[in-house]
Amino acid sequence: MAGASGDPRTVEGGLRRVIGRRMLLVFVIGDILGAGVYALVGQVAGEVGGAVWIPFPVAFMLAALTAAAYAELVGKYPRAAGAALYAHRAFGVPFVTFLVAFAVMMSGVTSASAAARAFGGEYLAEFAPLPAPAGALGFLALVTLVNLAGISESVKVNVVLTVVEASGLVVIMAIGAVALATGNGDPGRALDFHPAGGAFMGVLGGTALAFYALLGFEDSVNLAEEARDPRRDFPLALFGGLAVTAVVYTAVAFTATMLVDARTLERSTGPLLEVVRAAGLGFPPKLFALIALLAVGNTALINMIMASRLVYGMAREGVVPRVFGAVHPTRAVPWTAIVFTTGVAVVLVSTGDVGGLADTTVLLLLLVFALVDVCVLVLRRERAARDHFQAPTWMPVLGAVGSLLLALPITGRDGEVYLRAAVLLGIGAVLWSVDRLVAGGRSGDASGRAGAGTGR
């Protein structure tokens, strides 16, 4: 049904179905590529030694298990609310739905905030060593303007930035190929596996870090209302995007450790810049630093897009205040949700620690992933009106087990990360209570509205 704008592509809240299969695939790839791989290689090196590339395919296999659950659920319920909607349909407990929505929203905002703070590292220092908070806030303002411009404009910017950040990784892989051909690299170092805590713990800790670099595939399901054919396009985009990025990550990590020793990578805030410098091929470090900055920008843009769409989707379902469901009359974007998520990001950028925010993001999403894997099994009791992708049962089962394993303290995650996550969820619980008091129980009947609005 067309919305108020009169555009036949506009669904009944004002969002337009303008994203095709190819653009969706590029969106998934662009969401995964970015700040993670450009900044994380060194930290993984600290866990496993020279064999930095090993945790990436392991993380890919785990991510693919949960991606299968998302692919099934987005085909069955093609709405913008994502994991929160699935939890609501599976369990029908509004408080649980709200916490899931809040956790996913905060993970997107904290990830974008961490990317904004990362803007002030060694990559930016190649141009102007500005104070990190100032550079991050200015950068966040630019991201917000792009988000407010509209989904079509935002995705087009994402396409451009994805090409740029992918070109930077192609440069690194080309450097690796030349190094192998000329004998300048040390492939043996890339096979040097010396984890500090033993083989299992080293791979587990490295995988937990590498998993952060693969996050982003789950964000795309919040574009379900803006995709032309979500039932057919999302499975291809999710698995295709994960496969492409896993191959790229593995090749980049192998090249990095082949040319730069693990300790140097671990200490650097711009590890891939160290690779460019060590290659000695004449590629301008400033040009690569610019590419890296744009890659970080892409990560922040996509996370802020997704966080705002999630808030909008849950407002449509009556789980958060309806004011966040307002759509701009001409730009057709959820402008109040964008303003809200940007405000949260400003606070985090001004007060948060990059490493702690990133690790909290991983922890929150691992818990959400485990829940989504359970939801897909529970929701098989409901039949869909149309055919859609169905994952083999063993995939969500193993996905839930793997996600919970990586969420445990045995990965070496600091206790303060668990405390931070608990505080964030506690804030969510307080907001829920306040909303219930103000709304007089309006949120309590969200289950019925959610069921009516899934398009089944």
- Joined together, the tokens standing for residue 171 give 């440069």
Output 407-410 pairs: Cβ under 8 A, ≥24 positions apart. Answer: 407/363, 407/366, 407/367, 407/370, 410/201, 410/204
At how many degrees (to 10) do helices 132-149 and 94-118 cross? Answer: 120
**What pTM does this model have?**
0.79
- pLDDT by residue for the chain (456 residues), tens only, comes to 334 444 444 444 456 666 767 878 877 887 787 777 787 787 787 777 777 888 888 889 999 999 999 989 988 887 766 787 889 889 988 888 888 888 988 888 888 888 887 776 777 778 877 776 777 788 788 888 877 877 666 667 777 877 888 888 999 999 989 888 888 878 877 777 666 666 667 777 788 878 888 887 887 776 767 777 777 788 888 899 899 888 888 899 889 888 888 888 878 878 888 899 888 777 888 999 888 888 888 778 778 887 888 778 767 766 667 777 888 787 778 888 888 888 888 888 877 676 677 778 889 999 999 999 999 999 988 776 667 788 899 999 999 999 999 898 887 788 888 988 888 788 778 777 776 776 664 444 443 343 333 232
Which neighbouring-strand residues pair with 193?
A: 49
Tokens of 262: 């693990």
Pick from 178, 96, 153: which is nearest to 444 by CA? 96
Question: Does residue 193 sit in helix, strand or coil?
Answer: strand
Res 154: pLDDT? 67
Identity of residue 176: G
pLDDT value of position 266: 79
Q: Give the pLDDT score at 11.
A: 47
**Dist. CA 436–CA 312, nearest whole Å:** 18
| Tokens encoding 176 | 């690796």
Q: In whole angstroms, give the CA distance from residue 335 to residue 142.
A: 15
Nearest to 30, CA basis, from 305, 275, 367: 305
Residue 10: strand pairing partners: 16
3-state secondary structure of 16: strand
- The whole-number pLDDT of residue 13 equals 47
* SS3 call for 324: helix
What structural domains and CATH numbers belong to the chain?
21-452 (1.20.1740.10)
User: What is the DSSP code (8-state) at residue 445?
Assistant: G
Q: At 19, phi and psi to the nearest 5?
A: -100, 115
Residue with tokens 């045995």: 410
| Residue of 299, 301, 326 whose CA lies nearest to 312 | 326
Structure tokens at 271: 């590890």
Q: What is the DSSP letter of 192?
A: -
Give me 151's structure tokens.
């989904």
